[in-house]
Amino acid sequence: MQEESKFYIIREEVLSEALKKTILAKELLETGQAKTINEAVKMAGLSRSAFYKYKNYIFPYSKFSKGKIVTLSLLLEHMPGILSSILDAIAMMKGNVITINQSMPSLGVASVSISIDTQYMVKGIEELIEKIEEEHGVRKVEILGE
């Protein structure tokens, strides 16, 4: 009996160099910057054997989030305009806000959950999260679910 695969979301910082270079080689192929696997692995500084070993097992999160509803959980400081700036960031990336739920501020912070349709987003959810984290007054951003 075949065991079911398990999936994990991990931060890029803990990936081995071979895994990072495999992702880079796949991106080079996907974007057309490299025409062949040989060219892509050479540009990424990776051996062909390592590429073939990992290529079917590592994917950017955006590959799985595209065209789905993603719910973000945010912890925001209670200050004017912060939610508006976050909504602007979502709109700039062509995300479609489905729902917004916000708690009453307590001790100067409020919890907010935002559900976003990612179908037409021009960048991945990772880039959106990075952009939101850069906003003044954002204390925490997490993916709640899809």
* 24 plus 68 within the same structural domain: no
The domain total for the chain is 2
Instruction: Give the pLDDT of residue 27.
Output: 87
* 77 plus 30 within the same structural domain: no
Instruction: Give the pLDDT of residue 40.
Output: 93
* 71 plus 121 within the same structural domain: yes
* CA 140 vs CA 16, 112, 143: distances in Å: 26, 10, 10
Q: What is the mean pLDDT of the chain?
A: 88
Residue-wise pLDDT for 71-128, tens only, equals 999 999 999 999 999 999 999 999 999 999 999 999 999 999 999 998 888 888 889 9
Expressed as residue numbers, the domain containing 141 is: 64-145
The answer to pTM > 0.85 is no
Q: Answer yes or no: is pLDDT of 131 > 80.
A: yes
Domain presence at residue 9? no
Domain presence at residue 8? no
Domain presence at residue 107? yes
Place of tokens 């060219």: 39
Q: What is the CATH number of the domain that holds 106?
A: 3.30.70.260
| Local confidence band at 2 (pLDDT 50, 70, 90 cut-offs) | low
CB 118 within 8 A of CB 65: yes
Instruction: Please say which residue of 59, 75, 95 terminates a domain.
Output: 59
* 72 plus 129 within the same structural domain: yes
* 49 plus 121 within the same structural domain: no
Domain presence at residue 4? no
* 68 plus 55 within the same structural domain: no
Question: Strand, helix or coil at 140?
Answer: strand
